[in-house]
Structure 1
Amino acid sequence: MNAIGKTAIGLVFALLLSPARAADINAGKSRAAACMGCHGSAGVSNSGLFPSLAGQSRTYLEAQLKHFRSGERVNATMNAMAKDLKDEEIQNLAAYYAGLPGKSAGGDAKLAAAGKEKAAMCMGCHGNELRGNGQFPKLAGQHPDYIARQLTDFKSGARKAGPMNPLAQSLSEDDIKALAEYAGSLH
């Protein structure tokens, strides 16, 4: 191998072995002040209009903020909020929210019991107890109205996400309500 090849391989190894920049949770907390009106002061939304962010994975939060920033995911408010975020700010926000404890949003106990029976199909991606799994969001503790709206949007095609669209199309309105109540009852 010539000197150029050895140098290139050395650079690749140096980049791979160099430590990644750690996210700044305090900077994320400061930046999150603009998010609190919708997502709650501790990342737990009190409204079915907005998702709770507390306890979501960094991977999921970073991906969604980048999708909002690029316009790949459409929501007028979030597109405007994310459009000027730098990658570092996204990482900081994601680290801050990922470190916050989630809590149960409550839910109708009877419907939640019915939803628990149907939730096995969700756990393959969203993890046991629907606590999230890397790129797949934590559903546990989300407001039932928020989950129901997202499932309805996946079913209609208003929101697009690979396997969620055909899966949601197989759900009845009663299934959607029951799954939403079950997810909301968890934390």
Structure 2
Amino acid sequence: MNKHDFKMGFILLLTLCIMPARAADINAGKSKAAVCAGCHGSAGVSNNPMWPTLAGQSSAYLEKQLKNFKAGLRENSTMSAIAKDLSDADMQNLAAYFASLPGKSAGGDAAFAAKGKEKAAMCMGCHGQELKGNGQFPKLAGQHPDYLAKQLHDFKSGERKSGQMNAISKTLSDDDIKALAEYLGAL
């Protein structure tokens, strides 16, 4: 490597380091989100308890999940088909759009929710003290109890993969899962 090549490489590296990262475009995300409304609601709040609410989730979590669907690391035929046609910018814009929307509590069965409160403490280390998400860990507060219960059962059976969640869910009984999901939905 000669002196000129070294200098040009250094200038390129310096330029890349000081260039601002491309900011997500919430309006572009809103335009792309029309296809999401059928399952996740027009404002990101799902009316179907088997599909997650996206409103208020962290953009980091949403973007990671879209990438996982596209790469086949997370399986769902509908989401995989949608994600395969999304560019990285599309995913970033969609994630920013849904993260910008206010979430809403799905509610939960009060009797079960009271039983689930003590179990929720184990979730706070990753999902935050108020269970509103933490970076790439999703917001659990206010999510549909049926959706949460299905995800916990899928982690427990190994159908959905995530080392920490697979291990934690194996410690939960079916009643624990129901109570925890109801508590989280009620937040």
Cα-to-partner distance string for 1:23-62 (whole Å, 9 max, x where unaligned): 1111110110000010011101111210000011111111
Q: Which residue of 2 aligns with 1:55?
A: 56
Cα-to-partner distance string for 1:142-178 (whole Å, 9 max, x where unaligned): 1000000000000011111111001100001111011
Q: Which residue of 1 aligns with 2:9?
A: 8
Identity %: 68
- Tell me how far apart the structure 2 counterparts of residues 85 and 30 of structure 1 sit (CA, whole Å): 13
Alignment of 1:118-133 (within 5 A): 118-133=119-134
Counterpart AA for 1:68: F
**Superposition deviation, residue 2 in structure 1:** 3.6
- Secondary structure of residue in 1 paired with 2:130: helix
Matched, 1:137 2:138: yes
Counterpart AA for 2:70: R
Counterpart AA for 1:126: H
Q: Is 1-10 or 129-138 further displaced after alignment?
A: 1-10
Alignment of 1:25-174 (within 5 A): 25-174=26-175
**Count of residues paired in the alignment:** 186
Counterpart AA for 2:53: S
Q: What's the TM-score, normalizing by structure 1?
A: 0.96
Unaligned 5+ segments in structure 2 are: none
Counterpart AA for 2:123: C
- Tell me how far apart the structure 2 counterparts of residues 26 and 152 of structure 1 sit (CA, whole Å): 36
Matched, 1:21 2:12: no
